[in-house]
């Protein structure tokens, strides 16, 4: 056909501009026909591209979630500080949007793309069941302990058990508190869907021993017995006797709880209360090395002395004030003997050599300020 058209044009007798113009019109009319026949071309519908944008959130939260990796149609981006993301040039049709972030469940959703659209992504946290027991080495299970992590709280039951079923898996601080025990905190990261975590809490506790016998002996009246006296006297320099010694004897019982060697004694003291305001007097406290009875104790029949446990001074303060005559080191030494079932015969408190004056202490019967045997223990 093209050859025929050219042949006619070349043989045109008109040779005028009009003839050439007529031929050109014929060619233009034939173009649609030529384009639809005789050529190996495949026709395709017009496919548009669109924009998908939105924000990422944590499921159940109104706050946007940043740092989420979002993919769509082979493109990838990360949500910004305000949780926003955007894809331009997304082909028309069904597309899959995926999203992922550390400690979150994987996300995938199909989207039908026929125009620009907003699409909001909600991620679920990876969670774990956290459970265990709160105990103490001496007291056993601790009921009523408060267990907290990620603002999730549970209280232990009678067996010391707690359970938190939906704990986010990222690291956070686990805390355990109870009014009677030292607060416990630790960093905890949950890597599996179920984690058991037991806690052994400790406590510092004040416990009291018992003074079982107390009396004193007096050099000036060597055969007198003072076991029923309301007061215990140390030293002298009275008007009727100068430099006549007075020694106080005491027996006491350790709290049975201290039998357990897992318990450590942080502080301990044997304290006596002065009933009148006295001068300051030096003293020495010795372990007693043999048995005695307050009913038969006299100045000439005092039992043998053991090691020196403590020394210092007492007095110089107001009436009713308590003074320590035996501290932590001395009581711990006696405690070790007691734990080993070696005999404990008590202590004797003796005044110093200068004897500046008379000091009177309340005895066990001397209400309201009896001797105090106190232990601050840790377990």
Tokens of 239: 């008007």
Residue 106 and residue 69 share a domain: yes
Residue 212 and residue 326 share a domain: yes
Q: Is residue 194 domain-resident?
A: yes
Kindly tell me the burial class for residue 305, based on how many C-beta atoms sit within 10 Å of its own C-beta (0-12, 13-18, 19 or more): middle
- The whole-number pLDDT of residue 32 equals 45
Average pLDDT of span 341-370: 85
CATH of the domain at 324: 2.60.120
Report the number of distinct structural domains present in the chain: 3
Average pLDDT of span 243-255: 92
- The whole-number pLDDT of residue 281 equals 84
Please determine, for residue 33, whether its predicted confidence score (pLDDT) is greater than 60. no
SS3 per residue for the chain: CHHHHHHHHHCCCCCCHHHHHHHHHHHHHHHHHHHCCCCCCCCCCCCCEEEEEEEEEECCCCCECCCCEEEECCEEEECCCCCEEEEEEEECEEEEEEEECCCECCEEEEEEECCCEECCEEECECEEEEEEEEEECCCEECCCCEEEECCEEEECCCCCEEEEEEEECCCEEEEEEECCEEEEEEEECCCCCEEECCEECCCEEEEECEEEEEEEEECCCCCCCCCCCCEEEECCCCCCCCCCCEEEEEEEECCHHHHCCCCEEEEEEEEEEECCCCCCEEEEEEEECCCCCCCCCCHHHCCCEEEEEEEEEECCCCCCCEEEEECHHHHHHHHHHHHCCCCCCCEEEEECCCCCCCEEEECCCCCCCCCEEEEEEEC
CATH of the domain at 119: 2.60.40.10
- The whole-number pLDDT of residue 359 equals 86
Residue 365 and residue 281 share a domain: yes
Residue 344 and residue 255 share a domain: yes
Residue 100 and residue 194 share a domain: no
Q: Is residue 2 domain-resident?
A: no
Please determine, for residue 191, whether its predicted confidence score (pLDDT) is greater than 70. yes
Q: What are the tens digits of pLDDT across the range 99-111?
A: 999 889 999 999 9
Residue 326 and residue 254 share a domain: yes
Q: Is residue 166 domain-resident?
A: yes
Domain assignment of residue 116, given as a range: 49-123
CATH of the domain at 190: 2.60.40.4130
- The whole-number pLDDT of residue 20 equals 41
Q: What are the tens digits of pLDDT across the range 279-309?
A: 788 899 999 999 999 889 999 999 999 999 9
Average pLDDT of span 70-86: 97
**Residue 257 backbone phi and psi in degrees, to 5:** -55, -30
Contact 348, 248 (CB under 8 A): yes
The pairing of strands 107-113 and 194-196 is unpaired
Residue 132 and residue 115 share a domain: no
Q: Is residue 30 domain-resident?
A: no
- Give the residue from 202, 221, 237 where a domain finishes: 202
Please determine, for residue 330, whether its predicted confidence score (pLDDT) is greater than 50. yes
- The whole-number pLDDT of residue 358 equals 79
More confident: 171 or 141:
141
- Give the residue from 91, 123, 155 where a domain finishes: 123
Contact 375, 209 (CB under 8 A): yes
- The whole-number pLDDT of residue 368 equals 84
pLDDT band at 238 (very low <50, low <70, confident <90, very high): low
More confident: 43 or 259:
259
Q: Is residue 148 domain-resident?
A: yes
pLDDT band at 365 (very low <50, low <70, confident <90, very high): confident
Q: What are the tens digits of pLDDT across the range 62-72?
A: 999 999 999 99
Query: Residues 271, 277, 283, 286: is their CA dihedral positive or negative?
Result: negative
Please determine, for residue 156, whether its predicted confidence score (pLDDT) is greater than 70. yes
Q: Is residue 28 domain-resident?
A: no
- The whole-number pLDDT of residue 126 equals 92
- Give the residue from 90, 123, 156 where a domain finishes: 123
Contact 132, 198 (CB under 8 A): yes
Average pLDDT of span 14-19: 43
Residue 109 and residue 149 share a domain: no
- The whole-number pLDDT of residue 237 equals 60
User: Which of 5-19, 81-95, 126-140, 198-212 comes out lowest in average pLDDT?
Assistant: 5-19
Q: Is residue 44 domain-resident?
A: no
More confident: 48 or 91:
91
Q: Mean pLDDT across the chain, nearest whole number? A: 87
């Amino acid at each position: 056909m093209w050859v025929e058209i050219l042949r006619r044009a070349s043989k045109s007798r008109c040779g005028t501009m009009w003839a050439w113009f007529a031929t050109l019109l014929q060619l233009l009319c034939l173009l649609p026909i030529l384009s639809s026949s005789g050529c190996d071309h495949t026709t395709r519908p017009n496919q548009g591209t669109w924009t998908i944008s939105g924000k990422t959130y944590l499921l159940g939260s109104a706050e946007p979630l940043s740092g989420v990796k979002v993919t769509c149609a082979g493109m990838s981006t990360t949500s910004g500080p305000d949780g926003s993301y955007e894809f331009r040039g997304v082909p028309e049709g069904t597309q899959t949007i995926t999203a992922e972030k550390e400690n979150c469940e994987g996300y995938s959703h199909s989207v039908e793309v026929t125009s620009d659209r907003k699409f909001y992504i909600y991620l679920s946290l990876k969670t774990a069941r956290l459970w265990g027991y709160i105990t103490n080495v001496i007291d056993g299970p601790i009921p009523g302990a408060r267990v907290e992590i990620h603002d999730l709280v549970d209280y232990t039951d009678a067996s010391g058990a707690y359970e938190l079923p939906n704990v986010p898996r990222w690291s956070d601080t686990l805390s355990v508190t109870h009014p009677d025990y030292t607060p416990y905190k630790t960093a905890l990261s949950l890597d599996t869907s179920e984690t058991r975590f037991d806690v052994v809490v400790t406590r510092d506790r004040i416990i009291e021993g018992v003074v079982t016998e107390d009396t004193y002996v007096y050099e000036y009246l060597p055969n007198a017995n003072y076991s029923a006296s309301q007061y215990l006297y140390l030293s002298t320099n009275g008007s009727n006797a100068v430099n006549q010694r007075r020694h106080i004897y005491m027996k006491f019982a350790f709290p049975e709880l201290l039998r357990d060697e897992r318990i450590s004694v942080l502080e301990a003291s044997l304290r006596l209360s002065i009933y009148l305001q006295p001068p300051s007097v030096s003293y020495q406290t010795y372990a007693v090395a043999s048995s005695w009875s307050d009913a038969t104790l006299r100045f000439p029949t005092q039992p043998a002395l053991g090691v020196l446990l403590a020394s210092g001074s007492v007095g110089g303060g107001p009436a009713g004030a308590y003074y320590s005559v035996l501290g932590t080191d001395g009581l711990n030494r006696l405690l070790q003997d007691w734990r080993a079932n070696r005999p404990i015969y008590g202590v004797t408190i003796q005044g110093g050599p200068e004897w500046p004056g008379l000091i009177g202490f309340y005895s066990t019967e001397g209400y309201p300020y009896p001797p105090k045997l106190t232990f601050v223990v840790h377990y």
